[in-house]
A = this chain, B = another copy of it.
Amino acid sequence: MNSTCDSLYTADWLITQNEGRDIIHEAALAVAGDRILCVGHAEVLKILYPEARRVDLGEAVILPGLINAHTHVPMSLLRGYSDDKALQDWLQKDIFPQEAQLTPELVELGARLSMAEMIRYGTTAFYDMYMLEDAVFRAADAMGLRAVLGESTTQFFPSLAAKDFSGYERRVRRYAEEWKNHPRIRQAIVPHAPYTTSPDMLHTCRELADETGSLFGMHLAETEWETEECLRVYGKRPVEYCAQLGLLQPDSTFFHLVDLSEDDIHTLAESRCAGVHNPASNMKLASGVAPLQTLLRAGIPMGLGTDGAASNNAQNMLREIYLASLLQKVHSLDPSACPAQTALDLATRGGAAALHDPYIGSLEPGMKADFIALDLTLPHMQPLHNLISQVVFASNGSEVCLNVVDGIELFRDGQFLNFDYNALRNELRQAQAWIRKS
């Protein structure tokens, strides 16, 4: 690692999210290339690195970049297209038919829009699954975010991306070749869900992940309906079904995890796979409430995700953190459930586990320089009694005044720094006419 400090960021506060959850007052963060060189007291680091470029953020808090561990970024195009409906109706009647009309150009446009939103509101890394995902690879490469990206598939062919399953296999092998060794992007093999795939397909997908050095992810146990379907068709609950197919591996990540039995949770914990909680989507689609506290107590690494904009309808991780805490409290009727620190952990350290990336999720020497800052001068961030409380319960995302990934500033003081947002809006204006027509 480069030991020359390129940039020294100072701010009133810094939340490390390290093992001891240290918070530093009058703090500084030293960046060397794409890595964090060190964090500490501003006065000390200023002496250590007198030559470094200085960025003083003032009355602000620096924290690890937020990790959106489950989303479908192109779905921003369908934001507000269908609301107030149940998952299966929403998916089968409104979303799937609309998605069947998509083109690579539209997928890329939607992906760029979601990434703009995530950059604006403090996300630095995300785990995505969608169709025609090569467009998302291109968008993530261009927009500068860190990402785990997966071409999703069901058993229903021809799909937008392939005329049969071998076509899908060829496609993901091609992605593996094209994107290997990318500094920010990694592939995942992501079949859609147990109820839209066959056992053979799932087994092959898991093998494909191993063979191509990809991660593995899937929607799992999202609703009671899914459990009933799985029991009816395979005679097993979804987790047991997946376990027997060998899908539960330490590099697997399962999204939603709502309708779980105690045995399911035990099985997941034993396998050392990761999970992702999606409170907004689960609430809006009335899927139910994930047993988040039980999952955490069982030792399952849990990330947090927005899900796609069609079921959220934002890509704002600070809103998601707030919801994660409040939903557990009211559901368990225990106000100490999912306290502020736990909620923040989900979106940082937990997200790192869900993306299987040991170099993100906390601000420590040697970690990737993925960090954000929140402006503490805004009315809703005043006065300051408790920094973690302020981030989790008071923020709304608009406080984000800096977003840095791999040491590169993507957003600062209201401005996107590596793309032209007005040009993106113009493209959207044209695409919107297309969407309305279809």
Residues on A facing B (Cβ under 8 Å): 76-81, 83-87, 90, 113, 116-117, 120-121, 280, 282-289, 309, 312-316, 319, 322-323, 325-327, 329-330, 332-337, 339-340, 377-380, 382-386, 389-390, 393-394, 396-398, 421, 425, 428, 431-432, 435-436
When the two chains form their complex, are residues A83 and B330 in contact, meaning their CB atoms are under 8 A apart? no
- Closest residue of B by beta carbon distance from A414: B414
Q: Do A312 and B280 contact each other (CB < 8 Å), given the known contacts A113-B382, A383-B435?
A: no
When the two chains form their complex, are residues A394 and B314 in contact, meaning their CB atoms are under 8 A apart? yes
Q: Name the distance in Å between A182's Cβ and chain B's nearest Cβ.
A: 24
Residues of B near A386 (CB, < 8 A) are 80-81, 83
When the two chains form their complex, are residues A335 and B286 in contact, meaning their CB atoms are under 8 A apart? yes
- Closest residue of B by beta carbon distance from A80: B389
When the two chains form their complex, are residues B336 and A385 in contact, meaning their CB atoms are under 8 A apart? no
When the two chains form their complex, are residues A340 and B385 in contact, meaning their CB atoms are under 8 A apart? no
Question: Looking at A285, A309, A396, which has the most chain B CB atoms within 10 Å of its CB?
Answer: A396
When the two chains form their complex, are residues B333 and A288 in contact, meaning their CB atoms are under 8 A apart? yes
When the two chains form their complex, are residues B333 and A385 in contact, meaning their CB atoms are under 8 A apart? no
- Closest residue of B by beta carbon distance from A59: B425
Q: Do A335 and B85 contact each other (CB < 8 Å), given the known contacts A283-B330, A385-B78?
A: yes
Sample of 17 A–B contacts (CB below 8 Å) = A79-B383, A79-B385, A79-B390, A79-B394, A83-B339, A84-B335, A85-B336, A87-B335, A121-B380, A282-B330, A283-B327, A284-B325, A284-B330, A284-B393, A313-B389, A384-B432, A385-B435
When the two chains form their complex, are residues B280 and A326 in contact, meaning their CB atoms are under 8 A apart? yes
CA distance A314 to B378 in the complex (A): 11
Taking the full assembly, how many copies of this chain does it contain? 2
When the two chains form their complex, are residues B329 and A432 in contact, meaning their CB atoms are under 8 A apart? no
Residues of B near A383 (CB, < 8 A) are 76-77, 79, 113, 428, 431-432, 435
When the two chains form their complex, are residues A330 and B327 in contact, meaning their CB atoms are under 8 A apart? yes
When the two chains form their complex, are residues A382 and B80 in contact, meaning their CB atoms are under 8 A apart? no
CA distance A362 to B85 in the complex (A): 27
CA distance A326 to B312 in the complex (A): 10
Q: Do A330 and B394 contact each other (CB < 8 Å), given the known contacts A80-B386, A389-B80, A435-B385?
A: no
Q: Name the distance in Å between A85's Cβ and chain B's nearest Cβ.
A: 6
When the two chains form their complex, are residues A286 and B394 in contact, meaning their CB atoms are under 8 A apart? no
When the two chains form their complex, are residues B330 and A286 in contact, meaning their CB atoms are under 8 A apart? yes
Q: Name the distance in Å between A215's Cβ and chain B's nearest Cβ.
A: 27
When the two chains form their complex, are residues B288 and A330 in contact, meaning their CB atoms are under 8 A apart? yes
CA distance A258 to B284 in the complex (A): 21
When the two chains form their complex, are residues B312 and A393 in contact, meaning their CB atoms are under 8 A apart? yes
When the two chains form their complex, are residues B382 and A319 in contact, meaning their CB atoms are under 8 A apart? no
CA distance A351 to B265 in the complex (A): 44
When the two chains form their complex, are residues A336 and B425 in contact, meaning their CB atoms are under 8 A apart? no
When the two chains form their complex, are residues B390 and A80 in contact, meaning their CB atoms are under 8 A apart? yes
